[in-house]
Every structure is written in structure tokens, then in C-alpha cells.
A and B are shown apart, each in its own frame.
Chain A
């Protein structure tokens, strides 16, 4: 019983403190302040770069306190947690980040989320790239689940120090010219490997595979594992096979360090400078900075991605139905996904805006990233962003992608031949899609 009274005491203390705060907070004149401050929880993964925006929002909304959870976390741990919260009807934040791969699953069960169209979101359509806006809509177009945050425009991040060691050019323009195509990239990789720098040319075949696939699919049919009629086409879509074959060439040439992406080894390899290039969607720049650490500042740079463009990832902010402060949460989500919010996030951690206004903003176009040797990230990522070609994702995209990437990985680790790997990818993807 002791704990009970204690908790009660704590509750009384909180209420008292709240009342005090409420009476002392004078500026702003926000309505929410009248009911005492509320706490809005924002669930994210990785780096969304919202810290300063929260401060700004809290300053203009004295009745709101914002707490962010999950910063720096792995998407693979975040997604099941969020799904469990939604299924249990309890536990999710007031605003939740949803990665585009998971959004597909959530769109099939939209009853878990507030329909943002009922809360004046329709007026915001012009603030987002068309395809980004449409991704947030359910199939019938009647419910908007999420407002877009970022898109994953593609580049190639590389280590200038390792390139210099291998006698390759280090200037980003010159490096971009080295690899107009993926075959050129492989050739550069072979040159690099021959110099025995002690580092591999790239981190892991799976990330590169996904990059090539999204690029190839975006430039051809516009879909990867599922066609737009939601039929599984892993075995028949030439884009998948083409990406698979190119990845096999990379593996054959011994370019991969085989550090399973997002694993402990992968993180250690970042710290110990064990690979020279990594496929780099805009949001990856923040990840690299986090993992490679301050010691590698100025040793990374950003060049054009081989092939042409492509989009990988990007997220949305949604408000779960279970939130107790839906109206306030929606306001916050609108603020964070506004052009201004997206510019702030980009400057903090690098996620590329999905708002055309933000992409045109000089603050973005002129921005440079000090960590990446002052690379003009605004120019590199933002110029191509408006012409990005999105890739359609079907209902079981996540499960299917997992099977195909693990097939790639089993070849990379020498456990399967490329032919066996392909057979595995197709058959296991079919099984996963049926589950």
C-alpha cells in the first residue's frame, strides 16, 4: 500500500506543480495553457533532427511539453514495438514516425490512426511532393494516415582518406565521374581492392542491392516486388533480376566487407574505417555521423550515386487513435512536417525534405555538411529530389524484402551459389507473401 500512497503523493505534487506552472505561464496566450500543460510523446527511430524544433514549438505553445522516444534506435526494433502498441490500444506516442515500408502494412488497417483529412490536412496537399502525399493516403483515398517528413534521395558516401590511400581521386566531382554506371563502380572497386588498404570497398551487399533495385525499378516499371495490382512479381520483374545480377557481380569481385547492415559489426566497421563507400540515401548521412563518430569528421564526402537517382525510404508522421491529445498532436505533426520543420530537420540531421517549398528554399540549396568535408548536401540531394521516381510497395513488402535480402546475404557469405540464392529468393518470397 505504501507505493500506492507514494504514487498518489507524487500525483498530487505533479498537479500542484502543474497548477503553479499554469498560473505563472503568462506569455503566448495559448488555449492549451488553460487546462495545464500536456505532454506530447513523439516516437521516432534513427535521427529525425527535431530537437531544436521542439524547443521552438514549446516556446510558442507554453501548454505543451514534448518528449521524444527512440532517438538513434534501429528501425527493425522500432517497427514491431509500434505495431504492438497499436494492437494493444495502448503505449504508442501521440505522434509516431512511420517508415514508408511499414506504412503499407498500416494502410491496410487504417482504423488505428486518426484520419488527418478530418482535421484540415487537405489544405496542406501542396506542401508535399505529389507522390509523397499520395503514399500517405489509403487505397480508397478517403483517409490520410501520415504527413510526409523526408524522402530518400540517393548518393554515394565515401572515405576520402581511404580513396587517397588507394591512389583514387578524392574530389567529389572527380569521384562522381568515376562511376556513371554500377559496372564502372565495380571497376573502381576492383582498383581499390587491388591496392590492399586494409579496408573493403563497400559495407555489405544487401544495402547496395536495395539501392540498385529501387533505382532500377524507379527508372522502369515503378514497382519492385509487387506490381501495382498487388501481385507478387519477384520472379518476373526484370528490375529485381537485374539488381540481383549486378549485386552478384559486386560479390564476385570481392568488394564487400560482408558486415551485415545495421549489425554490431557494421557499426564497429564504421568506427574502424573498414570500408570506403556506402550507398547513401539522404537520411544515411545522419546515421554515418552517429556511427563513425567525431573522429571521422572531414574524412567522409558525398558523390553522385552510380546509375541514375532513386529513392530509398523516407517517413511519415501519424497520430494514433489511442492518443489522448489528438488535436494537439495533429498540430505538432503539421508543424514538424511543414516546410519550416523539414528545413530545420534537414539542417540538424540531414533527412531530405518532401516539401517542394523546402526543397526550393535557399536554406536547403546552399546548405553544406561540415561532417562530410563541407559537401554541398543541398545541391547534391535537393536538386534531384523533385524528379525522384518513387517505387510502389505491395502489402507484404517488408516480409518479401527480408527474404530476398537474406538470399543475397547468404550468397555474400558464401553459403549459396548465385543461382541457388535466386531460387531461394523467389520461392521464399512467395512463401512469405502467403503468410
Chain B
């Protein structure tokens, strides 16, 4: 049950001798166009459930759109100008980025380390590999509810444990940084194992002989890890970072379920743990029902994700150190 990721391109079929006739032309058309046909379902579905809502949301964002209203006057980019000057929006951006950094950095490092461990000769290897995925198959809402209870101010287990070692109870929800940490724990609990498996798959594609020859040259485990494993994993790490960026900046269920009671969508009285998606919901639905403004938030979030993903790629390219070419022979 080892996970294999083969990065090599498939072997090209040998060119067949040309035969004139209709059958030949049909088969040429077949080879040329049928791949498009095979991938068409994805693009059709994407068109209906991805591109259309995207465009429609943009259209809505250009209007003064009361969710229940009968008329929606066109107002151009007013929603956007108002939003860019909205301190509550930027507050939610800072929250989102804060939670993103606190959760993603340790998460990817831990995943890398976990993958490295799982890549060794272990007893009951498959069991371990499957076990790290268990948190990921648990429903997000269930995880969030359990964690919200653990991090409760008065009746939570974490504060009870802290109390035992003489630390005063922390109001996890009312303290902005503490709320970020609590939410990050939920995210990490769910996604570390998943990323570890992705890294593990990529690790197995690294040729063994690289490790053998480096061992002959006297490289220890740590040196092998940093000089062979990590550089060769770079494309996978970039993939994991982008996926984490998209997920992290759209974070909703965890912070939403972390808060409960009146106006949980606010993320606390001073919006301590309100993410951008929560701010979007607050505006598009209760209590504002301003669908146009909410749509503008959605589009700015889209732009934000694109920017952060681009920055991540640039950083990783810079920091990546040795590239694939330098390592492989």
C-alpha cells in the first residue's frame, strides 16, 4: 500500500506506419481531439459551478444589492472603494494572515518531518501512514466543536490543565492572539497528516541511489535530508504551500464554530477571530444582508489569495537553495 508518485512523463507510443483512408483520418481526429473530450466534463462542471458563480459574484459586487430587495441599482466600483477604506475588513485580513502564518509554517515543517519518519523502515508502516490521515477524514465541524469546547474559558480542558501547572485561565476567545493560536491548532490537527502523505509520496520518487552515493561520501541523515530530500521535494512543497494558502486564506468553518452564541459570525465582540470569509458572510447575510458588499469582499479575497500565493512561490524559489539540476547527475 505504498504511495507512489511517478513524475516521469509517460513513454510516447511508437509512430505507426501511415495508412491512407477514412479510418486513418478518423483515428487521427480521435487521437487529436478525444483527450479534450475526456477532460471536458471537468471544464463543463467548472464552468457551471466555478466560472459562472465567479462572474456572477463580480456582477453582483457592482450593485447596491439588498439580499431581499426587489431592485438592485448599479453603483460601479463603490463597494470596492468603500471596502478598501473599511477598517473592519483590514482587521479580518490581518486575522486571516495571522492565523495562516501561525498554522501553516509549523504545519508544513511538522508534515515534512513526519513524512521523513514515515519514509524509514518501520514496523506496521502502512498502519502508521494511514493513521496520520485520520484527523483529515473527521468532519471539520466536529473537530471545531470539540476544540471549541477544549478551549472554553470556564469549562475547557486546556484551561483546566494550565491551571494544574499554575498558569491562569486564558480567555481563548476574547484574546486575539490566543484565539489565533486555538484556531491554528484545529487547522494543524486536520491538515498535518494530509500534507505528510503528500510529501511522503514525493519522497518515494527520489531515487535511492542518490542516498547511497551520498552515504558513501560520508553524509549523515540530517545532511541527506537537507541536501537531497528537501531540494528534490521543492515542486511538491510549492504545491503544498499553494494549496495551504488557498485553504488557509479561505478559513471559515474552524473560526466560525470556535465562536458560538449571538453573532458568532463576528468572531467575538471586537472581531478577535473573524476571518475574511466570515466578514463576507456577515455582510452578505445577517445582520447586514448587503449582498453586493459581501460579493466585493469575495473578490478582494480572491485577489489576496493570488497575491499571497505569488509571494509564496517567489520566496520558495529564492530560499529553495540547490535546484533539481544541481543535485541530479
Contacts and interface: CB of A to CB of B under 8 A. Distances in A.
Given A260-B262, A402-B266, A265 B154 contact: yes
Most chain B C-beta atoms within 10 Å of own C-beta, residue among A83, A264, A266:
A264
Interface in B257-307: 259-264, 266, 269-270, 281, 283, 285-291, 293
A399 B283 CA distance: 10
A196 interface: no
Nearest to A259: B154
Interface in B30-51: none
B174 A413 contact: yes
A416 B283 CA distance: 25
A410 B66 contact: no
Contacts of A106: 68
B152 interface: yes
Contacts of A72: none
Nearest to A406: B269
A103 B154 CA distance: 36
A80 B261 CA distance: 14
Interface stretch (A14-22, A268-276, A306-314, A343-351): A268-276
B67 A87 contact: yes
Contacts of B153: 265
Nearest to A401: B287
A83 to B, nearest CB: 6
B38 to A, nearest CB: 20
Nearest to A88: B67
Contact of A261 (B66, B261, B287): B261
Interface in B160-183: 171, 173-174
B264 A76 contact: yes
A112 interface: yes
B283 to A, nearest CB: 7
A274 B148 CA distance: 19
A269 B281 CA distance: 29
Contact of B262 (A83, A112, A261, A264): A261
A5 B152 CA distance: 49
Q: How large is the interface on B (under 10, 10 to 19, 20 to 34, 35 or more residues)?
A: 20 to 34
Most chain B C-beta atoms within 10 Å of own C-beta, residue among A86, A266, A406, A407:
A406
Given A264-B149, A435-B283, A86 B154 contact: no
B222 interface: no
Nearest to A415: B270
A264 B261 contact: yes
Contacts of A264: 148-149, 152, 260-261
Most chain B C-beta atoms within 10 Å of own C-beta, residue among A80, A407, A432:
A80
A245 interface: no
A60 to B, nearest CB: 35
Interface string A204-229: 00100000000000000000000000
A262 B148 contact: no
Nearest to A397: B287
Contacts of A84: 67, 285
A76 B155 contact: no
A274 B153 CA distance: 13
B154 A112 contact: no
A110 to B, nearest CB: 10
Given A80-B286, A83-B289, A435-B293, A266 B68 contact: no
Given A409-B269, A410-B269, A80 B285 contact: yes
A263 interface: yes
Interface string A137-161: 0000000000000000000000000
Contacts of A405: 262
A109 interface: yes
A364 B242 CA distance: 63
Given A264-B149, A410-B269, A83 B68 contact: yes
B220 to A, nearest CB: 50
Contacts of B289: 83, 105
B262 A265 contact: no
B148 to A, nearest CB: 7
B69 interface: yes
A268 B154 contact: yes
Contact of A76 (B152, B171, B263): B263
A191 interface: no
A271 to B, nearest CB: 9
Given A87-B67, A406-B269, A274 B261 contact: no
Given A399-B288, A432-B288, A109 B154 contact: no
A112 B70 CA distance: 9
Contact of B174 (A87, A206, A415): A415
Interface in A87-111: 87, 105-106, 108-109, 111
Given A83-B67, A109-B68, A406-B266, A266 B261 contact: yes
A357 interface: no
Nearest to B156: A265
Given A264-B149, A435-B283, A402 B263 contact: yes
Contact of A105 (B68, B148, B291, B293): B68
Contacts of A86: 68
Interface in A398-435: 398-399, 402, 405-407, 409-410, 413, 415-416, 432, 435
B261 A79 contact: no
A305 B122 CA distance: 68
A34 B286 CA distance: 42
A105 B153 CA distance: 35
23 contacts: A76-B286, A83-B285, A83-B289, A84-B67, A84-B285, A105-B289, A109-B66, A260-B260, A260-B261, A260-B262, A261-B262, A262-B261, A264-B260, A265-B154, A272-B155, A274-B154, A399-B288, A402-B262, A409-B269, A413-B269, A432-B288, A435-B288, A435-B293
Interface of B: 66-70, 148-149, 152-155, 171, 173-174, 259-264, 266, 269-270, 281, 283, 285-291, 293
Interface of A: 76, 79-80, 83-84, 86-87, 105-106, 108-109, 111-112, 206, 259-266, 268-269, 272, 274, 396, 398-399, 402, 405-407, 409-410, 413, 415-416, 432, 435
Q: Which 7 A-B pairs have the closest CB atoms?
A: A263-B261, A80-B286, A409-B269, A80-B285, A109-B68, A399-B287, A406-B269
